[in-house]
Amino acid sequence: MMARSSSSLHTACAPGKIILFGEHAVNRGQLALAAAVGLRTTCVVRESREGLWVFRSGQRQVAYSSESLQTLVERLDTALATRDFATITGATAADFFTSSAYVVGRAKAREAAPLEIAFTSDLPIGFGLGSGGAAHVALAVAVAHSGASAAVLPGAAEISAWALAGDRIAHGGVASGLDTQTSLVGGVIEYRDGEVGRPLPVPAGLRVVIGNTGIAKGTTGSVNGRVRRWLEEDSARMAIFVEMGGIAQAGREALLAANWAQLGVRMNEAHALLQQIGASHPQLDALCEAARRAGARGAKLTGAGGGGVMIALVEESTQPAVARAIREAGGTPLLTDIGVGGAALVT
Ligand code: PMV
């Protein structure tokens, strides 16, 4: 516990992430591996001058009264408790800030003074790089430090619970803590649902090219809903998710041994299974194939899929050719550090 700062302005930032193994399988109890990336979302929180809870991001701005924030929290809590996913996806479709408002509503007691909350981000929104998770984490950290009445700050468990609550809403009612734990902890983590992210030693030479299809995947909630309905049609399909967990285990061993050839093979296997569950997209497949042909050790979609981004495992020598191949196949290559530090309070 730290002493609460007296300043009324707090800024926190949090990184996005790539999932190395385990998207969708992590929602079904399987092991996942993810890495924080050098693209961040920043959240500035200050006391509201308007007596309203104001949310801003780029051109978007929405204001809530304390009563409407409370009503929203109650409505979403009921929807979560009854697995009424339609109400949750309806609310997020109607207002971009629904999940952030839910985080703040959960975090702040009824009597707390309204805040103005502004986001800026290097992360493309809705492309599978964890922009939502990073926003919820940065918000939870900044909000934890705001307010003048309490003597102590909330603990790490509370902050991660608030951030996860935001992802649960943004992901359509069900979310693992993979995105938020990666953003909080940073580095490379292994994660199982309901646990905290465990840092893995980042081997020198772990290098990827991210390829953006430019195709908005829609919300993670819409892709998750499709995968969930597909599994409900035939419960035997659960075997594929279990297989994904086995690949994540093997990928973990390859990563720790810095065995890039094996790691690449496992990534290709993971992509093939993600194709089977309907999470891929022809353009994701095309970028993965182009990257492999240009010398990548392996390639897979990352995040929920259905559009968005893929990752290709490269070495320094193959990186330029792989980036070029992704561009020639119609994607946008993104070179950024991976395994960077986690969320931090800036001011
Ligand atoms: O929000 P995205 O696109 O990074 O997807 C997160 C990974 C999923 O397993 C699909 C969802 C989750 O809650 O872990």
Return the closest-CA partner of residue 278 out of 219, 212, 229, 211.
229
User: Distance from the CA of 128 to the center of ligand 1, in angstroms?
Assistant: 7
Where do the DSSP E strands lie in the chain?
9-21, 32-47, 53-57, 60-64, 115-121, 188-191, 198-200, 208-212, 298-301, 309-313, 332-334, 344-345
* Closest atom of ligand 1 relative to the 22 alpha carbon: 9
Find out whether the beta carbon of 183 lies less than 6 Å from any atom of ligand 1.
Answer: no
User: Distance from the CA of 16 to the center of ligand 1, in angstroms?
Assistant: 12
Structure confidence at residue 109 (pLDDT):
66
Residue from 92, 178, 277 whose mutation best tests the ligand 1 pocket (most atoms within 8 A of CB) = 178
Find out whether the beta carbon of 17 lies less than 6 Å from any atom of ligand 1.
Answer: no
| Catalytic center residues | 179
Nearest CA to ligand 1 atom 14: 176
Structure confidence at residue 1 (pLDDT):
37
Structure confidence at residue 146 (pLDDT):
83
Structure confidence at residue 152 (pLDDT):
62
Instruction: Report the predicted TM-score, pTM, of the whole model to 2 decimal places.
Output: 0.92
Compute the Cα dihedral for 35, 303, 308, 141 and give only its sign: negative
User: Distance from the CA of 111 to the center of ligand 1, in angstroms?
Assistant: 34
CA atoms within 13 A of residue 93's CA, in its CB half-sphere: 10
Find out whether the beta carbon of 24 lies less than 6 Å from any atom of ligand 1.
Answer: yes
* Closest atom of ligand 1 relative to the 305 alpha carbon: 3
**Spatial CB neighbours of 71, under 8 Å, sequence gap ≥ 6:** none
**Spatial CB neighbours of 62, under 8 Å, sequence gap ≥ 6:** 54, 55, 95, 96, 97, 101
Where b means 16+ CB within 10 Å and e means fewer, 294-308 reads: bbbbbbbbbbbbbbb
Distance CA 292, CA 281 (A): 17
* Closest atom of ligand 1 relative to the 25 alpha carbon: 9
Find out whether the beta carbon of 168 lies less than 6 Å from any atom of ligand 1.
Answer: no
Find out whether the beta carbon of 171 lies less than 6 Å from any atom of ligand 1.
Answer: yes
Structure confidence at residue 49 (pLDDT):
87
Tens-binned pLDDT, residue by residue, of the chain (347 aa):
344 443 468 999 999 999 999 999 999 999 999 999 999 999 999 999 889 999 999 999 999 999 999 999 999 999 999 999 999 999 999 999 999 999 999 988 666 789 999 999 999 888 889 999 999 999 999 998 886 445 567 788 899 999 999 999 998 998 999 999 999 999 999 999 989 999 999 888 999 999 999 998 777 888 999 999 999 999 999 999 999 999 999 999 999 999 999 999 999 999 999 999 999 999 999 999 999 999 999 999 999 999 999 999 999 999 999 999 999 999 999 999 999 999 999 98
Structure confidence at residue 341 (pLDDT):
95
Structure confidence at residue 151 (pLDDT):
55
User: Distance from the CA of 314 to the center of ligand 1, in angstroms?
Assistant: 24
Find out whether the beta carbon of 306 lies less than 6 Å from any atom of ligand 1.
Answer: no
Residue ranges in 175-281 assigned as alpha helix (H): 178-185, 220-233, 238-256, 260-276
DSSP secondary structure of 28-57 = GT--EEEEEEEEEEEEEEEE-SSSSEEEEE
Structure confidence at residue 4 (pLDDT):
42
Strand partners, 11: 44
Q: Is 227 left (phi over 0), alpha (psi -120 to 50) or beta?
A: alpha
Residue from 20, 23, 309 whose mutation best tests the ligand 1 pocket (most atoms within 8 A of CB) = 23
User: Distance from the CA of 179 to the center of ligand 1, in angstroms?
Assistant: 7
Compute the Cα dihedral for 299, 131, 240, 227 and give only its sign: negative
